[in-house]
Structure 1
Amino acid sequence: MSGHGRHSRGQGRSRSQGSLRDHKGQRYWFCCPGCGPAFDADPDKYAQAC
């Protein structure tokens, strides 16, 4: 998920596609639809990478 996260360059597109998640008070946007489910499976792992 390199390059994905709350400061992703794909924020405009992600908002329209609904590829965002809230976790522990932070909002994370994803530039591709497949990353949301990966984040859901282990959000702490991916939140640390951002």
Structure 2
Amino acid sequence: MPIPSDPAPQDADEQLYECVDCGARVCSDERVTACPECEGRVQNISRPRPE
């Protein structure tokens, strides 16, 4: 569940990424490949999960 301090995409071009190591979240309109806080792997959580 998101908490109020979580970033949120501001426009249709931005995506929300979450670090699988530390849980940090970042919004970006460019592809993010590493966590800015711990350099861990990130995943795009803006895309729906496959069913």
TM range (shorter): under 0.3
Bigger share in strand: 2
| Higher RCO (CA-CA < 8 Å; seq separation 6+) | 1
Q: TM-score, normalised by structure 1?
A: 0.27
Q: TM-score, normalised by structure 2?
A: 0.27
